[in-house]
C-alpha cells in the first residue's frame, strides 16, 4: 500500500510533465508550419514585384485647363465627376481656394499616373483620364530612363488608353484572364501613388462585376482592398503569377486617400479595347438598338416568372438591328449566344464588345414562350438616337451634357420632357456661377428647342454677346443669360 501510494504520487507529476512536453512540441510544429506558409507568401510577393516592376511606368503629363481647380476636400467617389475634378482627384493635386467671381483663365498643370508595357516595342496601356487632352506625355521606367510618349488611341467610354514610346526590347507584362478570378483571390497593385514610384500593395478580390459607379459608360469593375491611391490610375492589378488581371482605375474615398475599396477594369474587357486602339486608334462597338431594364421581382411576377434572370426590352428603336430582327417591347432576353443574361450592365457590355456586322443568337421570352432570334449587330455611332449614352463636355461652360433617355427622364423626374441633361458641373466654371447644377435639364438655347448634345454644342459655337438658356431645375423652369468668352 505504501509503495502503491508513493508510486501514484510520483507518476502523476511525471505524466503531467510528459503532457506539457508533447504540448510544447505540437505548438512549435504549428508555429513552424505557419511561419513557413508566411515565408512562402513573402517569397511570392517578392518574385511578383521583381517580375512586374520593370514593365510598370510612371506617366507625367502636361495639359491646359480653362477653369479653376476645385476647392475643399476630395469629393465622395460615389458622385459623378466632371473632367477637371476627375483629373485632380486621380492625380492628387492639392485643393485650392475658390474664387467664384473670377473669370476662368487658362493655366497649365502637371499631373501623374501609371501605366504598364504590353509589348516589347513600347506600347503602354493606361487610363484615358491619365492622358486625356494632354499636351505632352512623358514616361519614366524603373531604371530612371525617360521617354516622350505618343498617344495611340483613347476610349473615354471605358476609360482606357494606349500610348507608345520609341524603344525596342523592353520588358512587358502578360495579360491574364480576369474571368477566372474568384472573390478572395490574392491580387497585387503596383503604380505610383502620390508620385511615389513603383509602389506595390497586396490585397484580395473583394467583389466582381461592380457597375453603376458612374465613372464610365461601360463598367464591370473588379473591387479590391489592395491599397490604391491617386497616382495609381492606369497601373496593373496582377495575380500571384504576375499576370495582369485588371487596370487600376478608381477608389471610393471621402478623404482623397485609401479607404479599402478600389476598382480595376477587368483585363478581359481591356484586351479587346487595346487591340482596336492599336489597330485603329478608336473603338468600334456593336449596337442592338433597344432600351432595356433589369428584371425586378415585381416585373418578373407580372411576366409570370419565378426568377429575375434576364433583361426586359422597354423600347425598340426604329430602323435598328433589333427592329430588323423582330424584337419587340416586352420581350425578355434570357440568353445571348447560349450564355445566361443576368443584368443590364453585363448585357450592354456584351453587345458593345460584339464586332459590328456579326450575327448573334438571342433567347427571349415572349408571351411566356421561349424563342430564339438571330440578330445582325450594327455599329454604335454618334447619333443620339442610336447610342446607349450621348454625352460630351462643353469646356467653355464647364459642364458635361448627356442625352435624356427614357430611363433617365423617369429617374430624374422629367417624364414627357425634352432637352439635354447636365450630368456634371466644374467648380468655378461659368455654369456654376450662373447657378446651373448637376441634374438640371437644358430645354432651350437661344430660343431653339434642344434635342441632342450635338445640337447644343452647335448652338453654343455660334458667336453671340449672350447665350440665352431655358433650364428646368428643382421643379422650376427659368431663363439664364450667360456671356461666353
What does the block give as the cell for 161? 488608353
Residues catalogued as catalytic = 129, 159, 233
Provide the 3-class DSSP secondary structure of residue 212.
Answer: coil
Cell of 187: 491580387
CA 446, 452, 457, 461 dihedral sign is negative
- Residues in CB range of 252: below 8 A, 6 or more apart: 76, 77, 78, 259, 261, 262, 263
φ/ψ region of 242 (left if φ > 0, alpha if ψ in -120 to 50, else beta) reads: left
How far are the Cα atoms of 81, 105, 441, 478 from residue 474, in angstroms, in the given order?
A: 21, 30, 10, 11
Asked whether 65 and 395 are in contact (CB, 8 A), the reply is: no
What does the alpha-carbon distance between residue 288 and residue 361 come to, in Å, rounded to a whole number? 12
**What values do phi and psi take at 15, rounded to 5?**
-65, -40
Closest among 330, 423, 429, 464 to 80, alpha carbons compared: 423
Contact at 8 Å (CB) between 164 and 13?
no
Tally the residues of the chain: 485
Half-sphere exposure of 468 (CA within 13 A, CB side): 6
Burial class (CB in 10 A: 0-12, 13-18, 19+), 288: buried
Amino acid at each position: 500500500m505504501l509503495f502503491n501510494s508513493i508510486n501514484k504520487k510520483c507518476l502523476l507529476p511525471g505524466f503531467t510533465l510528459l503532457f506539457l512536453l508533447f504540448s510544447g512540441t505540437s505548438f512549435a510544429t504549428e508555429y513552424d508550419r505557419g511561419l513557413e506558409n508566411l515565408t512562402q507568401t513573402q517569397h511570392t510577393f517578392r518574385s511578383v514585384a521583381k517580375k512586374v516592376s520593370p514593365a510598370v511606368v510612371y506617366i507625367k503629363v502636361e495639359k491646359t485647363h480653362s477653369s479653376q481647380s476645385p476647392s475643399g476636400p476630395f469629393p465622395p467617389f460615389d458622385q459623378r465627376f466632371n473632367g477637371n475634378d476627375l483629373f485632380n482627384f486621380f492625380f492628387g493635386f492639392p485643393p485650392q481656394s475658390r474664387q467664384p467671381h473670377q473669370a476662368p483663365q487658362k493655366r497649365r498643370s502637371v499631373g501623374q499616373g501609371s501605366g504598364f508595357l504590353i509589348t516589347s516595342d513600347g506600347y503602354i496601356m493606361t487610363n484615358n483620364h491619365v492622358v486625356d487632352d494632354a499636351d505632352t506625355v512623358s514616361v519614366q521606367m524603373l531604371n530612371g530612363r525617360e521617354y516622350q510618349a505618343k498617344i495611340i488611341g483613347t476610349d473615354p467610354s471605358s476609360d482606357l488608353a494606349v500610348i507608345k514610346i520609341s524603344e525596342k526590347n523592353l520588358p512587358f507584362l502578360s495579360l491574364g484572364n480576369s474571368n477566372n478570378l474568384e472573390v478572395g483571390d490574392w491580387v497585387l497593385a503596383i503604380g505610383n501613388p502620390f508620385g511615389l514610384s513603383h509602389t506595390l500593395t497586396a490585397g484580395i478580390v473583394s467583389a466582381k462585376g461592380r457597375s453603376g459607379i458612374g465613372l464610365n459608360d461601360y463598367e464591370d469593375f473588379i473591387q479590391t482592398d489592395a491599397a490604391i491611391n491617386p497616382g495609381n490610375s492606369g497601373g496593373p492589378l496582377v495575380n500571384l503569377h504576375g499576370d495582369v488581371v485588371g487596370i487600376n482605375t478608381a477608389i471610393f474615398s471621402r478623404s482623397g486617400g485609401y479607404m479599402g475599396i478600389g476598382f480595376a477594369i477587368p483585363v478581359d474587357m481591356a484586351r479587346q479595347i487595346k487591340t482596336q486602339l492599336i489597330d485603329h486608334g478608336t473603338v468600334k462597338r456593336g449596337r442592338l438598338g433597344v432600351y432595356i431594364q433589369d428584371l425586378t421581382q415585381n416585373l418578373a411576377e407580372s411576366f409570370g416568372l419565378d426568377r429575375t434572370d434576364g433583361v426586359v426590352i422597354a423600347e425598340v428603336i426604329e430602323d435598328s438591328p433589333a427592329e430588323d430582327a423582330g424584337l419587340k417591347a416586352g420581350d425578355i432576353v434570357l440568353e445571348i449566344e447560349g450564355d445566361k443574361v443576368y443584368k443590364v450592365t453585363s448585357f450592354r457590355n456584351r453587345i458593345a464588345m460584339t464586332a459590328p456586322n456579326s450575327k448573334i443568337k438571342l433567347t427571349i421570352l415572349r408571351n411566356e414562350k421561349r424563342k430564339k432570334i438571330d440578330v445582325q449587330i450594327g455599329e454604335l455611332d454618334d447619333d443620339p438616337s442610336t447610342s446607349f449614352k450621348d454625352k460630351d463636355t462643353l469646356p467653355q461652360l464647364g459642364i458635361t451634357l448627356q442625352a435624356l433617355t427614357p430611363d433617365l427622364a423617369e429617374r430624374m423626374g422629367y417624364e414627357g420632357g425634352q432637352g439635354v441633361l447636365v450630368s456634371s458641373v466644374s467648380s468655378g466654371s461659368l455654369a456654376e456661377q450662373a447657378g446651373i447644377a448637376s441634374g438640371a435639364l437644358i430645354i432651350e438655347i437661344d430660343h431653339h428647342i434642344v434635342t441632342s448634345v450635338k445640337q447644343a454644342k452647335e448652338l453654343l459655337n455660334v458667336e453671340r454677346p449672350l447665350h440665352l438658356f431655358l433650364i428646368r431645375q428643382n421643379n422650376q423652369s427659368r431663363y439664364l443669360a450667360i456671356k461666353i468668352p
